[in-house]
Amino acid sequence: MGLLGVSALFFSGMSILLDRNFPNDRKGEGEAAIAMRQIGHVLLLQSGDSTSRVLPVKKMSESTFQIAFQSQFTFVPDSLVKIVRTSLSESITNRPYIVNVYDCHTNEVVYGFQIGRQQTTTLVPCLGREQALGCYTIQLTFLNEAKEGTNQYYLYVLALVGFGVIVVSGRSVLKQRNLQTIESLEGGSKIGTYYFFSDRRILLYKRQRIVLSEKETKLLKIFAAQLNQPVMREQLLKEVWEDEGVIVGRSLDVFVSKLRKKLKQDSTVQLINIHGVGYSLKVS
């Protein structure tokens, strides 16, 4: 479930980044300017002009670019459509756009067409009608389609859902771990901040698992049953070493010392020696 959320978040995030409107970045603006100059250059060549200049490209708005010419020229709409489509396909984008040709003197649109997404022609009027020799400027405006905004909306929703799945999954994992921790403590005897499990021969200190030997387990079980009380050496030797037939007093001291080391992480727990009597497991 967590992997699904991460995948959804990654996919939607990358889609949003890759589908941003290109005119808002400098690279997109530069490519648009190059495409516009290419359009002007080819258009003049097809009208028989190879010497006059194509004037600098102007950015009229965030999505509109304009190009002007030094000299008058004539053009055929069919050729203009093809030039624009070819120039854009070689450089920047497949986004829908509108091209308008303006008369320099009247500022009226003398010709225009619209190209949709995936290079589908949506509105190209007056093909085959050659325009008279005149002074013209060309404006190219990139469009934001309504469905594109909808797609962006769904991508943001997908990203939100993905994030929600990750949060829920994370909480579920934490809850599961907490439950496992609670379940693992069941059946244990609490000694200070330790949990003692005689059947599994382990001590749990926070997240640390401390393994006990058989004799350490037997000794600690006796001490845990008589916390803060003295335990006679004879009782310890009898209950822990009786089955072995030979009782060596020194062995008791060795294993008590080992237990002290394993209990030293909690300063409130002390295994003390009572002279002439035995030992006591103190928990303050």
The per-residue DSSP string of 94-109 comes to ---EEEEEEETTT--E
- Checking if the pLDDT of 238 tops 70, the result is yes
Domain ranges across the chain:
22-143, 189-283
Mean pLDDT in residue range 141-147: 69
The pLDDT score that the predictor gives to residue 249 is 63
Range name among 49-53, 68-72, 154-158, 270-274 with the lowest pLDDT average: 154-158
* Better-scored residue on pLDDT, 122 or 268: 268
Pull the structure tokens for residue 244. Answer: 């072995």
- Architecture of the domain whose range is 189-283: Orthogonal Bundle (1.10)
Tell how many helices (H) and how many strands (E) occur in the chain.
7, 13
**pLDDT tier at 159 (50, 70, 90 boundaries)?**
low
pLDDT digits (tens, 9 = 90+) for 12-28: 555 555 444 444 556 66
Mean pLDDT in residue range 1-22: 52
Predicted model pTM: 0.43
